Amino acid sequence: MKLAFIGAGKMATAIAQGLIDANCFGKSNIMASDPSMISQQSFSTTVGVQCIDDNDATIDQGDVIVLAVKPQNIENVFSNLISPLNSKLLISIIAGCTLKNLSALTQSKRIIRVMPNTPAMVGKGTAVFACGDDVTKSDIELVTKIFSTVGIVKQLPEEYLDIVTAVSGSGPAYVFEFIQAWVDAAVANELDPELSLELILQTVSGAVEMIHKKMGTPDELRNAVTSPGGTTEAGLNVLKEHHFREIIQSVINSAKQRSIELGND
Ligand SMILES: NC(=O)c1ccc[n+]([C@@H]2O[C@H](COP(=O)([O-])OP(=O)(O)OC[C@H]3O[C@@H](n4cnc5c(N)ncnc54)[C@H](OP(=O)(O)O)[C@@H]3O)[C@@H](O)[C@H]2O)c1
């Protein structure tokens, strides 16, 4: 079976590399098309598979098509396409692009819409998918197998994909922002930048591991390290005064709203 990526940017590269590393697909069974020379070169170098600038030829040769272009480029892909899709399975990772929109563009209902995230690049991704009407049981097994090579995979009704986009699709950026702010605060107090990052990364991964090991809920674990009148409480009080939880709620609501808007464009 041949897998054809339309758009060979960051996500396509991460997924293709995961598939090869996991021996899920051989290099000869992966192909990609992208107009950007930079993406072509980066995909070829990282994945070890040639990337061309020809969506028609790529779709023609693929048995399963992975749509990995930005939302604003999807119409362009199908308006310029000559090759028939011939009911091939389409897997779309395009944020906010609904099954209905994809179906209108492709005249197909054999479509799986997936919301992945960038930690797929290190095999720690999340992927949540929803299925079009003509998707088969073996299509579901295939998409599960593909995304399992780069992280965890869940199936949900499509109505949940906007909130999933806000929570895990965009999630890595919130973590990066939080960690950068934390490093900046340490450095502002004259701690070495490299050491700051090392301490913070170990703190984050250690805290995450404690939750993974079911040592308590996040609330319980926070309470366990917060002595009355202590340093942690002093820090947490600032988060509370500045409405940290309400801010996070607004972040998620705003990202979800943007995902809904993209779907309506
Ligand atoms: N990155 C994330 O965190 C993330 C998470 C979840 C989902 N997604 C979704 O994944 C998709 C890809 O994201 P990405 O981060 O991999 O984007 P990206 O790195 O920008 O890759 C998209 C690639 O598609 C190329 N492209 C543009 N028009 C094309 C066309 N007509 N035919 C073929 N290729 C075309 C782009 O070339 P140009 O640069 O020349 O336009 C670019 O190289 C997006 O729809 C995004 O919503 C991304």
Q: Are residues 136 and 30 in the same domain?
A: yes
Last residue of one domain, picked from the residues 123, 140, 164: 164
Of 68, 79, 75, which is closest to residue 34 (Cα–Cα)? 68
Q: Are residues 26 and 145 in the same domain?
A: yes
Q: Are residues 201 and 155 in the same domain?
A: no
Q: Are residues 189 and 106 in the same domain?
A: no
Interval 103-158: pLDDT, tens: 999 999 999 999 999 999 899 999 999 999 999 999 999 999 999 999 999 999 99
Residue 248 CA, ligand 1 centroid: distance in Å: 27
Last residue of one domain, picked from the residues 164, 181, 216: 164
Q: Are residues 48 and 148 in the same domain?
A: yes
Q: What is the pLDDT along the chain (265 residues), one digit of tens a residue?
A: 999 999 999 999 999 998 998 888 999 999 999 999 999 999 999 999 999 999 999 999 999 999 999 999 999 999 888 877 888 999 999 998 999 999 999 999 999 999 999 999 899 999 999 999 999 999 999 999 999 999 999 999 999 999 999 999 999 999 999 999 999 999 999 999 999 999 999 999 999 999 999 999 999 999 999 999 999 999 999 999 999 999 999 999 999 999 999 888 7
Q: Are residues 97 and 30 in the same domain?
A: yes
Interval 191-210: pLDDT, tens: 999 999 999 999 999 999 99
Distance CA 8, CA 41 (A): 10
- The minimum-distance atom of ligand 1 relative to the CA of 33 is 33
| Candidate from 17, 34, 46 with most ligand 1 atoms within 8 A of CB, to mutate | 34
The number of distinct structural domains making up the chain is 2
Which residues, in sequence order, are CB contacts of 146 under 8 Å at separation 6+? Answer: 3, 15, 19, 24, 91
- The CATH code of the domain that includes 82 is 3.40.50.720
Q: Are residues 117 and 231 in the same domain?
A: no
The pocket around ligand 1, CB under 6 angstroms, is made up of: 6-12, 33-36, 39, 55, 68-71, 73, 76-77, 93-95, 115-118, 169
Q: Are residues 156 and 181 in the same domain?
A: no
Q: Tell me, what's the pLDDT at 104? A: 92
Residue 11 CA, ligand 1 centroid: distance in Å: 7
Last residue of one domain, picked from the residues 103, 129, 164: 164
Q: Please give the backbone phi and psi of residue 80, each rounded to the nearest 5 degrees, phi first.
A: -100, 5
- The CATH code of the domain that includes 253 is 1.10.3730.10
Q: Give the range of the structural domain holding residue 84, as residue numbers without chain letter.
A: 3-164
Q: Are residues 33 and 134 in the same domain?
A: yes
Q: Tell me, what's the pLDDT at 220? A: 98
Q: Are residues 159 and 137 in the same domain?
A: yes
Q: Are residues 143 and 49 in the same domain?
A: yes
As a whole number of Å, the end-to-end CA separation of the chain is 34
Of 23, 22, 42, which is closest to residue 5 (Cα–Cα)? 42
Q: Tell me, what's the pLDDT at 86? A: 83
Of 47, 40, 7, 11, which is closest to residue 26 (Cα–Cα)? 47
Residue 135 CA, ligand 1 centroid: distance in Å: 24
Residue 6 CA, ligand 1 centroid: distance in Å: 9
Q: Are residues 122 and 221 in the same domain?
A: no
